Amino acid sequence: MVDWNEENAAHLLSRAGFGGKPQEVARYAKRSQISCVAVLLRPKPSRAKGPGVDDKDTDSLIKLAQWWAKRMATQSSRRVDEKMALFWHDHFATQYSVVKNVREMSLQNRTFREFGMGSFHRLCWEITRDPAMLVFLDGKDNKANKVNENYGREIMELFVLGEADRNGVANYTQTDVEEISRALTGYRVDGDRGVIRNNRFDDGDKTLFAGTSFETTGNLGVETTLGLPFAPDVNVIDILFTHRDSDGALTMPRFLGRKLWEYFAYPDPDTALIDEITANFIAGGFIIEDLLQSIFMHDEFYSDEAKSSSVRNPVEYAISSIRALEARGNLKELPFHFDGMGMTLFEPPSVNGWPQGLPWLSSGQFLARLDFAQTCASGRASTLKLIPKKLVPKNATTASEVVDGILHRLQIQDSIPSDARQVLIDYFDGETDFKDPVVLETKVRGAVALALQLPEVHVH
C-alpha cells in the first residue's frame, strides 16, 4: 500500500479528474486511499446533455463546446465521469465536420457520460447504433449487397481489439473485416438511435476468426432486425469479447486496459501489470468502473514514473490550472483556448483520435499555451477571473513564501529546479507587502503567468 498523503491525493485528483483546489486536496488526503477512490467512482450514471440542434449551425456547436468545457472545469462529484467522457471522445473519435449535426454530437457526448463507467459491452453496442458514429463511419450506408467496411474495420482495429497483439500477431484478417461488416449491415438513423431495417440486413451465414478456437459461424448480427422473426444467431460484439491473443489471453481486456493505463498513468506498461489491473474487470463482466478502481488502487499508479511521464493535453493543462488557482467565471473562452493548443472539442483530427505525448508541445501549440497562461494570470473579466490575494499564503512576508504557495497549488513544488524557483523569487524585486494592491496586480499575477509556463506544469 502507498503512503496516503497530499502528494498522492493530488495525483489522484489530477489524473482521475482535472486536478483539485488546495482545500480539496487536503480533504482527500485526510481520508483513506480506498475511501477516496470509492468517492470518485460512486456517482450513478448521468444523462446530462448539452445544447444542440439538427443543423450545421456554428453558434450551436460553440455553445455545446462551451457547455462541456465548463462542465469539465467545474464538476466535483462527477469529475471522473467527465474525464472518461473525454477519453471516450478520443477512443471513439467522431468529427463534427463529417457528421454536420450538432444534436447528434451532443447525443453521443451524453452516451459517453451515461454508459462510460458501466459495461464496455453495452457501450460498444450503444456506439454501434449511435447516430453520429453511423454517419461518421458510414454505418448508415452499410447494407446487404453493398457492404461498407469502415465501421467493421475500426471496431476491431481501434475500438475493441487493436490491429495486432503485443507479440506482433495480427488480431484479424481482411476476411474478418468483410464478415463483420456484413454482420453490421442494416442500420438507418431513426431519431436518437440507429435501427436495423429488415430489407437492408444481410441475413446470410458469416464466419468470424476462421481457424481459431473462437471461430464463430452463423447468422451473425448485432440485434434483432425490424420485421424479422428471429434474432441473429450470435451478437458480433459477444464474439469480439471472446477473441484471444497469441498468448491465449482475452484480447479486449489487454487492449483496453493498456490504453486506459496509458491515459491515466504512463506509456508502455508491461503485460504483467495490465493482466493485474484487468483481473477484476474480466471477473466482473467487463465493467469499466472495476478497471478504473484497479488502476487507482494500484501502487504503481502512484510511482514516480506515473507522476512525471505524461504530457497534459490542452484540456487537462487549462482546467487543472483554473482549478489549482481557483479562477472562476463563465469560461466561455475555454474552447477557443483548447482550439489554439490543438484540441478542438468535437473535432479530433482523425478516426485515430488525437496524438498523445510530445506532439502536444509543438512550437505553435506551446505558444498557445503561453497565451493561455497570460490570459489566466491577467484574468479580470466575467469569462475568467483570477483573484491574486487568494494565492498569497496568510501572513506571507517574503517572496519565497508566495512563490512556494503558487508552486504548491500547481503541484510542482518538489519537481521544479532550484534555479527556476529562484528566478520566480527574484521577479518580486524584494517586495514584502503582499497586501499592496499594486504588488498583487503586477507581481503576483506576473509570477502566476511565469509559473504556468514552466515545463513541469505541462506534465503529470
The predicted-structure confidence for 102-136, as pLDDT tens digits, reads as follows 999 999 999 999 999 999 999 999 999 999 999 99
**DSSP-derived pairing of the beta strands 187-190 and 193-196:** antiparallel
Domain assignment of residue 399, given as a range = 314-458
Strand ranges in 111-220 using DSSP code E only, listed in sequence order? 187-190, 193-196, 206-208, 216-218
User: Is 328 inside any structural domain?
Assistant: yes
User: Is 363 inside any structural domain?
Assistant: yes
Return the SS3 of 249: coil
User: Is 378 inside any structural domain?
Assistant: yes
What's the average model confidence in pLDDT over 437-455? 97
Cα 421 from Cα 403, distance rounded (Å): 7
pTM of the model: 0.96
Question: What pLDDT does residue 234 have?
Answer: 74
User: Look-up: residue for cell 477557443?
Assistant: 336
How is 278-291 classified by DSSP, letter by letter?
HHHHHHTTSBHHHH
Predicted confidence band at 56 (pLDDT cuts at 50, 70, 90)?
confident
User: Look-up: residue for cell 511521464?
Assistant: 309
Cα 331 from Cα 343, distance rounded (Å): 16
Residue 143: partners with Cβ closer than 8 Å, 6 or more residues away? 185, 186, 200, 201, 202
Mean pLDDT of the chain: 95
Question: What pLDDT does residue 191 have?
Answer: 86
User: Is 5 inside any structural domain?
Assistant: no
244 - beta bridge partners? 250
Cα 410 from Cα 211, distance rounded (Å): 54
226 - beta bridge partners? 197
Instruction: Report how many domains make up the chain.
Output: 1
User: Is 221 inside any structural domain?
Assistant: no
> Chain centroid to CA 174: how far?
30
Cα 373 from Cα 453, distance rounded (Å): 7
Predicted confidence band at 233 (pLDDT cuts at 50, 70, 90)?
low
Return the SS3 of 163: coil
The predicted-structure confidence for 299-351, as pLDDT tens digits, reads as follows 999 999 999 889 999 999 999 999 999 999 999 999 999 999 999 999 999 99
**Is it the case that residue 5 has pLDDT exceeding 80?**
yes
Asked whether 151 and 135 are in contact (CB, 8 A), the reply is no
The predicted-structure confidence for 391-441, as pLDDT tens digits, reads as follows 999 999 999 999 999 999 999 999 999 999 999 999 999 999 999 999 999
Q: Please count the CA atoms within 13 angstroms of the CA of 380 that sit on its side-chain side.
A: 6
User: Is 387 inside any structural domain?
Assistant: yes
Predicted confidence band at 230 (pLDDT cuts at 50, 70, 90)?
very low
User: Is 453 inside any structural domain?
Assistant: yes
User: Is 374 inside any structural domain?
Assistant: yes
